[in-house]
């Protein structure tokens, strides 16, 4: 039986050429796998037909938008995940769901190898291959660009020679990856980190310098998951899409950062994540009133480590699974409403309400009705500072000798 290779297929030039390139280099049959995670553009059927037209023996396509929103974006939201305090893991959380479908397709079609279009410099090669090794430890991995010398100029020449049904003459100066959680742009003009992003880079967000009238929105959460906007129930996917539209119209969620890649390179990245950043802001403010202080402090540490693991391609790792359990436990009482104003590139919270709130008005108020017993403060302060006081006395005693 002829060997079969499953290829992560986007429908673009490089992966379209990779179908024939892999076949000629290995003698294997290629099964193209396209997964819709909300990246927009062409329909799955159009992409399927293109894959077949480029020589794939089978084409597996999956509408994974709800799966991605429910099982990948929502855990990211619950973790308030921002790699290096900035990046909401736009690409990093899409790779595990694609990996899941690649392995599923490999089993379905009897493939022994999985191929992806990543280079040897980026994070995605790690995310794909570590994920594949974890879910399908018997499967091999190849990367045509990295392992089979498939450069872009060779791809264009190959496509023209074979008459492949794919545009080969236009070249976007940027590398772009997008899904419903956000959009990532890199390379080209942006590689000089002194260069400011130009307007043509952005697609999910309008310029914040000239915003429309302020947009006030109320987001309802149940156990850490957004379930309604302005009182209207929606699925997680619909909520992300609606917040992309509303926050994006106000220029919310533009990120320009130099980040530390897993391979040790610093890389300049431009991100657009209007819905993600607005939802993370709202979720964090609701946690502020519903999660106990020490639990909240520790969760911030857990969220940072969770973000690093996911960025580094460890979505399926034991540690990430354990951190998931902690984060999920913290979300038990994260229910209620957050009111926020979207305007001029900012999402500013101005109202909070929750039946599970830890905010006690009678304890917090300085006015009549205050139930806080201020006589407790003196003894509390004395005990709280006791160890520092004793240490300070020791220092003065020793220094005085």
- DSSP calls for 336-351: EEEEEEEETTEEEEEE
Average pLDDT over residues 333-359: 98
Does 124 share its domain with 230?
no
pLDDT of 173 > 80? The answer is no
Q: How far apart are CA 233 and CA 290, in angstroms?
A: 22
Does 202 share its domain with 189?
yes
Whether 141 is covered by a domain: the verdict is: yes
* CATH (domain of 60): 3.40.50.620
Domain end, chosen from 171, 186, 211, is at 171
Residue 97 confidence (pLDDT): 98
Burial of 170 (0-12, 13-18, 19+ CB in 10 A): exposed
Domain end, chosen from 171, 186, 213, is at 171
Per-residue pLDDT tens over the stretch 206-217: 999 999 999 999
Does 22 share its domain with 126?
yes
Domain end, chosen from 137, 171, 205, is at 171
What is the Rg, in whole angstroms, of the alpha carbon atoms belonging to the chain?
25
87 is an annotated ligand-binding site residue? yes
pLDDT of 398 > 90? The answer is yes
Other Cβ atoms within 10 Å of 158 Cβ, number: 19
Does 107 share its domain with 65?
yes
Does 65 share its domain with 119?
yes
- The larger pLDDT score, comparing residue 272 to residue 165, is at 272
The number of C-alpha atoms within 13 Å of 370 and in the hemisphere containing its C-beta is 8
Indicate which residues carry an active-site annotation: 14, 95, 124, 175
Using the 8-state DSSP alphabet, how is residue 374 labeled? T
**What does the mean pLDDT of the chain come to?**
94
Looking at 133-142, 171-180, 333-342, 348-357, which range is the least confident one? 171-180
Whether 327 is covered by a domain: the verdict is: no
Residue 120 confidence (pLDDT): 86
Average pLDDT over residues 181-188: 92
Consecutive H or E run containing 46: helix 44-53
Domain ranges, residue 265: 176-291+333-353
Total domain count, the chain: 3
Does 236 share its domain with 261?
yes
Whether 110 is covered by a domain: the verdict is: yes
Residue 105 confidence (pLDDT): 98
Q: Are 327 and 75 in contact (CB under 8 A)?
A: yes
83 is an annotated ligand-binding site residue? no
Does 26 share its domain with 152?
yes
pLDDT confidence band for 171 (50 / 70 / 90)? low
**Which residues, 6 or more positions from 290, have their beta carbon under 8 angstroms from its beta carbon?**
333, 334, 335, 336, 354, 356, 357, 358
pLDDT of 167 > 80? The answer is no
Tokens of 83: 């790699």
Does 46 share its domain with 104?
yes
pTM exceeding 0.85: yes
Average pLDDT over residues 172-183: 88
27 is an annotated ligand-binding site residue? no
């Amino acid at each position: 039986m002829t060997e079969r290779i499953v290829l992560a297929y986007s429908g673009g030039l490089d992966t379209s050429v990779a179908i024939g390139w892999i076949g000629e280099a290995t003698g294997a049959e290629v099964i193209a796998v396209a997964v819709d995670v909300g990246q927009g553009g062409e329909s799955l059927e159009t992409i399927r037909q293109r894959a077949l037209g480029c020589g794939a023996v089978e084409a597996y396509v999956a509408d994974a938008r709800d799966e991605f929103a429910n099982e990948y974006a929502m855990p990211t939201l619950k973790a308030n995940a921002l790699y290096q305090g900035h990046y909401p893991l736009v690409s990093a959380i899409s790779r595990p769901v694609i990996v899941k479908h690649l392995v599923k397709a490999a089993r379905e079609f009897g493939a022994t190898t999985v191929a992806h279009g990543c280079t040897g410099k980026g994070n995605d090669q790690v995310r794909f291959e570590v994920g594949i090794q974890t879910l399908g430890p018997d499967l091999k991995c190849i990367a045509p660009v990295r392992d089979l010398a498939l450069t872009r100029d060779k791809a264009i020449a190959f496509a023209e020679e074979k008459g492949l049904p794919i545009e080969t003459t236009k070249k976007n100066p940027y590398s772009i990856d997008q899904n419903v959680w956000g959009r990532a742009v890199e390379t080209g003009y942006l590689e000089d980190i002194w260069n400011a992003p130009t307007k043509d880079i952005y697609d999910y967000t309008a310029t914040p310098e000239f915003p429309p009238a302020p947009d006030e929105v109320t987001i309802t959460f149940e156990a850490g998951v957004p379930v309604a906007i302005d009182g209207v129930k929606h699925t997680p996917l619909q909520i992300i899409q609606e917040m992309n539209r509303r926050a994006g119209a106000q220029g919310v969620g533009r990120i320009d950062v130099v980040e530390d890649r897993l391979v040790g390179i610093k890389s300049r990245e431009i991100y657009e994540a209007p819905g993600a950043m607005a939802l993370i802001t709202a979720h964090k403010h609701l946690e502020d009133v519903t999660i106990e202080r020490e639990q909240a402090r520790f969760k911030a540490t857990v969220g940072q480590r969770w973000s690093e693991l996911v960025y580094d391609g460890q979505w399926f790792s034991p540690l990430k699974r354990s951190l998931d359990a902690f984060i999920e436990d913290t979300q038990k009482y994260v229910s209620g409403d957050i009111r926020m104003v979207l305007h001029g590139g900012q999402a500013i919270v101005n109202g909070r309400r929750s039946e599970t709130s830890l905010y006690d008005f009678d304890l917090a108020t300085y006015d009549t009705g205050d139930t806080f017993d201020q006589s407790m403060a003196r003894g509390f302060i004395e005990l709280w500072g006791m160890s520092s006081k004793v240490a300070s006395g020791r220092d003065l005693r020793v220094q005085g000798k």
